[in-house]
Structure 1
Amino acid sequence: MKKFNEEDISRMIEMAWEDRTSLDAIKRTYGIDESELKLIMKKHLSISAYKLWRKRMKNSHLRHESLRPKGITRAYCSTQYKLKN
């Protein structure tokens, strides 16, 4: 697995908790797939927070861009300031 600094890990966790941010957007930004994201979340969250996140992920059908309605084409608010260049 790639090495990430604390700022990147913090942003990945934040993106993973966001309802609008797809797993595909996280993959494009950081080059990690869903299984790698799960490992990062498990390592950096408490057990209860990780379980809550997994439960939330299972109930969200918008986490994969291919499952989203055709009108949703972005992963974040246009005014969001935490974009990685």
Structure 2
Amino acid sequence: MQDNLSPEDIDRIIEMAWEDRTPFSAIEFQFGLPEAEVIKLMKRELKLNSWKRWRKRVQGRKTKHAQLRDDGVLRFKSKAQKQITNNKISKKRY
């Protein structure tokens, strides 16, 4: 299923996989890739150390697995994230 993804789609999936508040179910909904396929894609696309760091970060993380989330978490993205601007995180101003 990964074969028909454009380079832009792959980049977006990697971004979503790194985001703490984006569950795997959101990636599956948007791109049709279940968690196991996302893991394979990440392993294929990232350098070994980056993949190990990402894997360690997401294993068991409540926010990456919708069924483990608290009932109050209903969003897929961070509040600091801009609206539809290539998904770049906005800088916080103090």
Bin of the TM-score, shorter chain as denominator length: 0.7 to 0.9
- Matched residue pairs, number? 83
- The two structures have a TM-score, normalised by structure 1, of 0.88
- The two structures have a TM-score, normalised by structure 2, of 0.80
Unaligned runs of 5+ in 1: none
Letter in 2 for 1:26: I
Where do residues 4-43 of structure 1 align in structure 2 (5 Å cutoff)? Answer: 4-43=5-44
Alignment partner of 1:20: what SS? Answer: coil
Where do residues 1-85 of structure 1 align in structure 2 (5 Å cutoff)? Answer: 1-2=1-2, 3-77=4-78, 79-81=82-84, 82=86
Q: State the identity %.
A: 40
Q: Could you tell me how far apart the structure 1 residues matched to 2:83 and 2:49 are? A: 28
Unaligned runs of 5+ in 2: 88-94
Which ranges of 4 or more aligned residues in structure 1 deviate by more than 4 Å?
Answer: none
Q: Over aligned residues, Cα RMSD in angstroms?
A: 1.6
Q: Look at both structures and tell me which one has the larger radius of gyration over its CA atoms.
A: 2
Q: Could you tell me how far apart the structure 1 residues matched to 2:78 and 2:48 are? A: 30
Alignment partner of 2:61: what SS? Answer: coil
Letter in 2 for 1:36: E
- Of structures 1 and 2, the one with the larger relative CO (CA 8 A, separation 6+) is 1
Letter in 2 for 1:80: Q
